[in-house]
Structure 1
């Protein structure tokens, strides 16, 4: 089931869903789908940088090449979907002015980020990995890309927050958990890069602690339904998905324990982190799926 949902999401994001899947969507369905697509862009900004970092160490090379390639495609097409709509998904273009401005800003920073990430991928595919200078450039561009995608999410959230039955706040938080978890993994890799170069570890350690705290706090809020002013417990299928995600998160955080004590992970441990994260992500996708399709 996890694999089916990920493949389905990938096909839809590429606009390759079968025509039979296209249908007239309600305003609530459109709002939820847009929030999922925009929220996934936040994840992808972290996922591409993490994959580039793992490739720098030649960690899980074939998988990370695939992740980087798919993420580049997904980000490009999802940006097109929000800006221009997607007929195969019965999704109209975003028209809210603030969201259009944010999408334009994403488009501007996406160009140089995409070019650099593609260069890193192509060099790694040719067996030429380990260019830390290029990774540094990508890591400097990534927060700008993340901020622009967050602006899109915020604009859409404000535009759709009065839409009844959408659980917009929950979709935002669940999507943020996808991003935060991948950001933590990304920072763990960049932390090892910093140690290799004998740079300060403080900024990466602080980012990991902050994002871990937010991830755990938002996970608790989703499980208890304490997202808005009035507690609204999640439906049973959503709660089960949240619990499964929490279990998978526990496996990941166990591997990251040395970083809580201020230590960078060795490269072999990074391989385990990269592997275990690929078990967590589908479970976080399941959580978003239940909100979007609920």
Structure 2
């Protein structure tokens, strides 16, 4: 566990001792280096830090992150590098490339050194993790998908033909093993079908976000910031059989999983990297 330190304490600690700039970040990381957590097979340690981390996404061996200033960064080795100049409230990376949503729900795809604006559909959250589709949800919880061919062929200021999926969700995540989502009532849903012929199956539990990795591993975060992993997933039961709570002492703001690594943003904007 984190030996009694809360994310708020970790964030305030450097300021209380008069540290500034890089010294603040170094102090936070120094504290966390000695707070390695081993939780029923999950071993968590500090990842590369960047002040104000708010949302993280991993896919295709790449990791992207958004901070509380809506700036987007790409992880290269252990260094975060600014990605483009567009302010985004959500960013996602996967087989379809790097996609994002701006403050006014405009949809962007990264290409040619910056995020390129598209037209045709407004979204509040987008996911690029599907092998055959890009999926997003609107502020009114309608669900929309874009074929892999259409998303791959997108060019600057292009018109994208999104198709509407039955159902209502406020957050979605896809892989080749299916799509997971949660609605405004925190109910969890799963589908194995591809866009647009989707039939959602209700899964027990409650969450505010769900993330699925390329290997089918599924994690959700509930309204209290607790992290759960789906268990019993198989070809016969693709939606699994139960939930296991990953016992962290800090609340989780966002989670993403790829290539055996579980990336977390915990309270205080601290980035953690977990593996088994």
TM over 0.5: no
> If each structure's helix is expressed as a fraction of its own residues, which one has the higher value?
1
TM-score, L = length of structure 2: 0.27
Whichever structure has more strand as a proportion of its residues is 2
TM-score (norm 1): 0.26
For CA contacts below 8 A with separation 6 or more, give which structure has more relative contact order.
Answer: 1
